[in-house]
C-alpha cells in the first residue's frame, strides 16, 4: 500500500483552481492543448428542429452582430439608425404576425437583435426582409460583413445563412445532450459508444472555445405552447 500524501499537498492541490497562476496555466496552456488535440466544431445557432408543437412556438433568436465601429460614435450611430426606424420596425413586426417580442441591444462590441417568434426560422427571416428589409439594409451598414448582403431583398438566402451563423448556439436544456450535438456535428451517431460522463466538463470547456457566446438553455416561458396569434385572439385584440 502506498504512503498517503501529506495533508499540505492535498490542501495545496485542492486550492489550485482558485490560484491565479493555475488559472493562467489552465487558460493559456491546458485549454489550448486540448483544443489542439480535440477541436470542437462550431455548433449551429438557434432552436433545433423538433416535432413537438411547443418546440415550434416562442422560439428564441439571439442575433449577435459585430459592430463595424464599436467606439462611442459608432454606437451612437447604431442607436440613431434603430431609433430612426422604430416606426418601420414596429409596423413590420405587426405585419409579420408571428413575433412575441423583439428588441435591439448594444452590448460589448455587438449589436444584438433578440426576439421570440413562432414557426420556421427561414420563413421568419424571409418575412422580416419583406416587412423591414430596408431597416436591415441600414443595420448591415453598421456591422462587420454586412456590405456583402446588401440589398438584403436581393440576397435573401445569403442573408438567411448569415443570420443563422450569427444566431447564438443554444446550450441544451439537459447538459449531457451536448455529447450527442457534438457527435452529430462531426457526422457521428449519438452515443455510439457513450462518452465518459466525467469528460462532460472538458467537452463543455472546449465547446466554449468554438462557441464563446451562447444562450444558456431554452429559457423560461410563463405561457408555453401558445402562439402570438392565439394569445392576441384570447386577449381579444386580434391581428
Partner 1 sequence: MPDNATPSLAKRLVCALKIEGTLKEKRPVHAFGWGAKGEFLPSAVAKNYCRAFHFNLARRDDGSLVTYPVTLRFSNGSGEAKQRDSWSDVRGMAARFHDPQDDTRATDLIAMTLPEFFNATPEGFAAFAQAAKSAPCRAQTPWEKLRDMLHLIQPMPDPYPGQTRRPDEGAIRYADKDARAQLAVLQAATIGVPQSYLQASYHAVHTFRVTGFGGTNNVRFEWRPVDGVRPHDPDLTPEPGSPPVDPDDFLVPDLKNRLKNSAAGPHVRSRPMRFSLMMTIGETGDDFNDPSRPWPPRRKRVFMGMLTVNEACDTEKVSFNPGLLTDGVAASDDAILWTRIEAYRYSSEQRGGTPCPFAEGQ
State the CB neighbour count (10 A cutoff) for residue 96: 22
Instruction: Give yes or no for a contact between 128 and 92, defined as CB atoms under 8 angstroms apart.
Output: yes
Enumerate the β-bridge partners of residue 169: 46, 214
Note whether 53 binds partner 1 by CB under 8 A: yes
| Mask for 10-39, x = binds partner 1 (CB under 8 A) | x-xxx-xx--------x---xx--x-----
d(CA 224, CA 82): 30
Note whether 201 binds partner 1 by CB under 8 A: yes
The string over 6-30, giving b where at least 16 C-beta atoms fall within 10 Å of a residue's C-beta and e elsewhere, is eeeeeeeeeeeeeeeeeeeeeeeee
Closest CA to 103 of 83, 120, 127: 83
The correct pick among 75, 77, 164, 221 for binding partner 1 (CB under 8 A) is 221
Instruction: Give yes or no for a contact between 144 and 66, defined as CB atoms under 8 angstroms apart.
Output: yes
Residue nearer to partner 1 on the CB measure, 77 or 202:
202
Residue nearer to partner 1 on the CB measure, 72 or 194:
194
- Choices 73-81, 109-117, 143-151, 220-228; region in contact with partner 1 by CB under 8 A: 220-228
Note whether 191 binds partner 1 by CB under 8 A: yes
Provide the binding-site residues for partner 1, judged by CB under 8 A: 4-5, 9-10, 12-14, 16-17, 26, 30-31, 34, 50-55, 57-58, 173-176, 179, 190-191, 193-202, 205-206, 217-221, 224-226
Amino acid at each position: 500500500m502506498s504512503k498517503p500524501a501529506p495533508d499540505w499537498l492535498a490542501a495545496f492541490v485542492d486550492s489550485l483552481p482558485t490560484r491565479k497562476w493555475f488559472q493562467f496555466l489552465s487558460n493559456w496552456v491546458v485549454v489550448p492543448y486540448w483544443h489542439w488535440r480535440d477541436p470542437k466544431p462550431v455548433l449551429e445557432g438557434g432552436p433545433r428542429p423538433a416535432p413537438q408543437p411547443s418546440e415550434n412556438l416562442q422560439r428564441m433568436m439571439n442575433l449577435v452582430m459585430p459592430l463595424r465601429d464599436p467606439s462611442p460614435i459608432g454606437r451612437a450611430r447604431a442607436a440613431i439608425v434603430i431609433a430612426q426606424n422604430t416606426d418601420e420596425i414596429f409596423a413590420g413586426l405587426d405585419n409579420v404576425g408571428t413575433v412575441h417580442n423583439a428588441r435591439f441591444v448594444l452590448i460589448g462590441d455587438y449589436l444584438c437583435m433578440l426576439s421570440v417568434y413562432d414557426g420556421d426560422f427561414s420563413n421568419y427571416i424571409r418575412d422580416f426582409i419583406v416587412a423591414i428589409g430596408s431597416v436591415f439594409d441600414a443595420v448591415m451598414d453598421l456591422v462587420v460583413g454586412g456590405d456583402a448582403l446588401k440589398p438584403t431583398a436581393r440576397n435573401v438566402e445569403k442573408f438567411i445563412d448569415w443570420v443563422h451563423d450569427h444566431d447564438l448556439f443554444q446550450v441544451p436544456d439537459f447538459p449531457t445532450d451536448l455529447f450527442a450535438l457534438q457527435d452529430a456535428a462531426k457526422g457521428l451517431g449519438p452515443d455510439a459508444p457513450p462518452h465518459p460522463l466525467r469528460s462532460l466538463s472538458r467537452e463543455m470547456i472546449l465547446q466554449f472555445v468554438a462557441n464563446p457566446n451562447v444562450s444558456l438553455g431554452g429559457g423560461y416561458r410563463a405561457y408555453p405552447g401558445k402562439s402570438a396569434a392565439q394569445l392576441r385572439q384570447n386577449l381579444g385584440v386580434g391581428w
